[in-house]
Structure 1
Amino acid sequence: MCTMETISQDHAKLDSDIIAEAIKSLVDLDPSIKVKSIIAEVQYRFNYTICYRKA
Structure 2
Amino acid sequence: EKGEKEEKKEENEEKKEKKEEKEERRRKRRKEGGKEGKEEEGKGGKEEEKEKKKE
RCO higher in 1 or 2 (8 Å CA, sep ≥ 6)? Answer: 1
TM-score (norm 2): 0.30
Select the structure that is richer in helix.
Answer: 2
